[in-house]
Structure 1
Amino acid sequence: MNKYDLVVIGAGPSGYAAAMRALDFKKKVLLVERNVVGGAGVTNGALSSKTWWEISRETQSFNKRLKNFNLKAPDVNFKEIQAEVNSAVEQRKTMLMEHMNLIQSSQFADLLEFKIGSAKLINEHEIEIESKDGTTTVYADYIILATGSRPRKLPEIPIDEKVILTSEGIERMDDFPESMVILGAGVIGCEYATIFSGFGKTKVHLIDKGDRILPFEDDDVVSVIERNMESKGVLIHRNSQLIKMEVVDGRVRYELEYDDGSKEVFNVEKALVSVGRVPNYEKLWSDAVPITLNKRGIEDNETQTSVSNIFAVGDITADIALVNVGELEGRHAVEKIFGKPQRKLVYENISTIMFLHPEVAGVGLNENQAKEKKLAYRVVTLDYSCIPRAIAKRNTQGFIKLLVTNDDDMKILGMRVVGNHASSAIQAVALLISMDKGIEELAECVHPHPSITEGIQECVRMLMGKSMFKPSALTGQLSCRTCCEGVYENIIF
């Protein structure tokens, strides 16, 4: 029986990161993957959907420019776009595989093994692996479970991945549907609504059980996104409950009931069910392995499960299901096993991006969350029309919103950026949150010009009472307020 210091099950973002970090400790590692390297983060998740989004955004921007010159936009070819997305996915998968192959001729040559197959824990140290070469059993001092997740399916909806789809089936469509309904108005559902409406080929319906999409986000953020969606023809079914969805004559017929008791039936070409994801842990271990589960996945203490030598990372746990979080957890687990982590595993400074129109980037608390925690805070907002880089790009839709503690320290609680380059504007703030620092460092740092981050600096200077633009003068573009026990008060200067 082959023995390893560590066996990692799953070669998605978190498992791959864990295996590579273990090599730094000069440990013998076996990485096992059932399907393809990269997991859903590459094949039908983050990378593929964001490539679709980038092409959709470019198409929309190009068509807008043509319209300004009274030129007709060219037809959008689905197959060509699909090929471009597939090329991006293959490029990433190839790079990950080539990297592992090159490791075989490096100083880590005798440390890393990779095997395609299905793994199951027989006991706390032995793993049975079924592959095309047969069944083998290996021994591991430590085990990391990183088998990811899959789209959640609802038993009452006949998902066939042809007419009624999840995010897995949507990658295999033959053409743009003339109409599509999306069940679920969370991040993934809204991103796909943005993608398909952006190409201008699909009438998108979005089912939202509440009175607005993205219920976890602040009203001012959601307002921009909803307005843009509806301007592109998206029909948002607010305050609606799905009664029935079925395939009739090769199309989707669905019935909604609204909060006022009224009902309505719609007919569209395709449906996308986007109601979250579920962890992949079925048949992953035998009854002899006492791993504790909860409603959201494997229960863990900073990646360590109820079995001391078995760790769980990524979507299979009850923590945040994001690629960057999974990679962070993978590295942390290895450091916890073979070393001593320099800091605890925290999620307060995790940066997120929502690929919408425009993009939304955030870190830390939003205003809704600060209110729920009953925090006293200061909040400043600055419209993109005050930022030279946004003006130069001829797109000033968006704003920056920064929350700090309502005291002399003014430690950063969180930030949201809505608009062009939002994702590139938040990392400095994420660092300050992780360092538990205030805002002084941002106030006097010399930012590149012109850049979106200059807007963040101006927000900080507003909070410190020394901004160039005064909110008392530009009341429609700037604001600076305090909130204590739900009562707002403008800061005047």
Structure 2
Amino acid sequence: MQDYDVIVVGSGPGGEGAAMKCAKAGKKVAMVEAYGMVGGGCTHWGTIPSKALRQVISGLREVRDNPQFHDSADLTVSFPKLLRTAEGVIRRQVSMRQNFYDRNSVTVIHGRARFVDPHTVKVQLNNGGSETCTARQFIIATGSRPYHPPEIDFSHPRIHDSDSILRLTESPESITIYGAGVIGCEYASIFRNLGCKVNLINTRDRLLSFLDDEIVDALAYHLREQGVLVRHNEEAAGVHVEDNGVVLELKSNKRIKTDYLLWANGRQGNTDDMGLEALGIEPDKRGVIAVNENYQTVVPHIYAVGDVIGWPSLASAAYDQGRHAAAHLVDGNYRSELARDIPTGIYTLPEISSLGRTERELTEARVPYEVGHSLFRSLARAQITGQTTGMLKILFHRETLEVLGIHCFGAQASEIIHIGQAIMLQPAPHNTIRYFVNTTFNYPTMAEAYRVAALNGLNRLY
């Protein structure tokens, strides 16, 4: 039996952040990871592979749109070939992360952990046998997986979720994506830009309703412009596999037949068979664990972070949650709070990033706000690169000029957002739109969009 100060279960971003923080505080730490390599779902099935795919396709799209290369470039690429590119990125990520654990003397145990009592876990090792470990404190960071409705046969080669789609062995000619959340929209962009016919089935009345309405409208327009067929307010009635395809039947009596079905509707927390219920920790029906502001469960020495606690289910947020939980674990008086506003990054083509409140939220709260726009087609850098689709939108208070929200759609949106984030999260009076007017930006850059948008917004006041 091995004894540790802290045992972290799950080596995704949340678990890694927690383990590193505890180790650097002098704790004896063990990391239990069910998969054969560290990195969690983020590295092996989620963020890294899908964004690697998207990056290659984005590059191909730029070449296709540039008339100088039409006669000289091989513009055909298969989905399996793209996956091999992603595999190279994954290998480098795994090597780097394993090195983190080695350098910080964190013991990595590959197997599945189950609580025997509040301070003991039994790990069923991947190589056979078991190992019992004790610890004073635990951090659960087991992540989530795609939700599988019991009536759908996900073992059939024509039916996939967002994990198994990465094992596709051919480039489909057509695909139906059920679920138009972040994952569904991202894969719709990926497959459509590979030349695949895409049906995107949305169970709601609009795409990504948590985003600003203007950004959502832009996304919907560009998906349709690319050739994605989007159907709103639909609900699945059944799935049937035929010899030459799979049929999705909808309750509206529509039948949609394509080569493959990608089910991207919902996630499930990885809390099965962990022995949590015997400790008084009751995950909800989707496997999500409830925590307090310090990420403690109802058992105070057991913490939980990342996708297993639900919203916002972002790799970036999970890493910060892990560090926050570990800091509280090390020092019970830790009072620092995580940033109130977390930027979203949605890697469609074009990509989206957003921070703070939307126009709809500000209007409902009766906040006197104004809008500053910068259209990318007016920026010299965008004209040079040919990536002129998109805009930066700044929402600010009419009286105090405080920045209230930043919404970006277009090339490099997930990078551009951080300039505004740095200002938006400053204390008053340093968080106003005037910063962008009084700051010199390199020229030509996409960052210049902030100055253009700020001037546009201030001009509306006078």
The match for 1:351 is 343
> Which string of whole-angstrom CA distances, capped at 9 and with x for unpartnered residues, describes residues 359-407 of structure 1?
1111112223333444332222221123221122223211111112232
Q: Which residue does 2:271 correspond to in 1?
A: 281
CA drift at 1:218: 2.8
Residue 115 of structure 1 deviates from its aligned partner by: 0.8
Q: Percent same amino acid at aligned positions?
A: 29
Is there any run of 5+ residues in structure 2 with no aligned partner, and where?
A: none
Q: Deviations over 1:221-246 (max 9, x none)?
A: 12322222222221112333322221
Counterpart code for 1:199: L
What amino acid is the match of 1:397? T
**Structure 2 matches for 1:9-24, cutoff 5 A?**
9-24=9-24
Matched, 1:318 2:306: no
User: Is 1:266 aligned to residue 256 of structure 2?
Assistant: yes
Report the AA paired with residue 15 of structure 1.
G
Q: Secondary structure at the match of 1:453?
A: coil
Partner SS, residue 193 of structure 2: helix
Given that residues 123 and 286 in structure 1 are in contact (C-alpha distance below 8 angstroms), is that contact kept between their aligned partners in structure 2? no
User: Can you give the 5+ residue segments of structure 1 that lack an aligned partner in the other structure?
Assistant: 466-479, 481-490
Deviation, structure 1 residue 257:
4.1
Give the TM-score, by structure 1 length: 0.87
Structure-2 change in CA distance of 1:211 and 1:127 (3 Å) = closer
Question: C-alpha separation between the residues in 1 aligned to 2:329 and 2:229?
Answer: 50
Counterpart CA distance in 2 for 1:327 and 1:72 is 40
In 2, the alpha carbon distance for the partners of 1:323 and 1:371 equals 30
- Give the C-alpha shift of residue 169 in structure 1: 1.1
- Map residues 403-414 of structure 1 onto 2, 5 A cutoff: 403-407=395-399, 409-414=400-405
Task: State whether residues 372 and 458 of structure 2, in contact with CA within 8 Å, keep that contact through their aligned partners in structure 1.
Answer: no
Say if 1:411 and 1:436, in contact at 8 Å, map to a contact too. Answer: no
Out of 61-70 and 349-358, give the one that drifted further: 61-70
State how 1:66-465 maps to structure 2 within 5 Å.
66=67, 69=70, 74-101=75-102, 103=103, 108-109=104-105, 112-131=106-125, 132=127, 134-160=129-155, 162-200=157-195, 202-258=196-252, 263-294=253-284, 297-302=288-293, 303-339=295-331, 340-341=333-334, 343-346=336-339, 348-407=340-399, 409-437=400-428, 438-439=431-432, 440-465=434-459
Instruction: Determine if contact 1:279/1:316 at 8 Å carries over to the other structure.
Output: yes
Give the match's secondary structure for 1:240: coil
State whether residues 22 and 29 of structure 2, in contact with CA within 8 Å, keep that contact through their aligned partners in structure 1: yes
* SS of equivalent residue, structure 2 residue 44: coil
Give me the whole-angstrom Cα distance separating, in 2, the residues matched to 1:128 and 1:224. Answer: 51
Distance 1:310 1:120 in 2: 13
Question: Equivalents in 1 of 2:416, 2:378: separation in Å?
Answer: 15
Distance 1:59 1:143, change over 3 A: same
The DSSP-based 3-state class of the residue aligned with 1:369 is helix
Q: CA deviation at 1:210?
A: 3.4
Aligned equivalents of 2:261 and 2:68: distance in 1? 31
User: Post-superposition shift, 1:251?
Assistant: 1.5
Aligned equivalents of 1:133 and 1:245: distance in 2? 38
C-alpha displacement of 1:171: 0.5
TM-score, with length taken from structure 2: 0.92
State the distance in 2 between where 1:168 and 1:284 align: 22
RMSD: 2.1
Q: Is the 8 A contact 1:59 1:199 kept in 2?
A: no
Q: Go from structure 1 to structure 2 and tell me whether the alpha carbon gap of 1:133 and 1:68 turns closer, same or farther (over 3 Å shift).
A: closer
The structure 1 segments of at least 4 consecutive aligned residues displaced by more than 4 Å after TM superposition are 66-73
Moved more, 441-450 or 173-182: 441-450
Amino acid in structure 1 at the alignment position of 2:342: I
Relative distance call for 1:13 and 1:20 in structure 2 (3 A) is: same
- Equivalenced residue count is 454
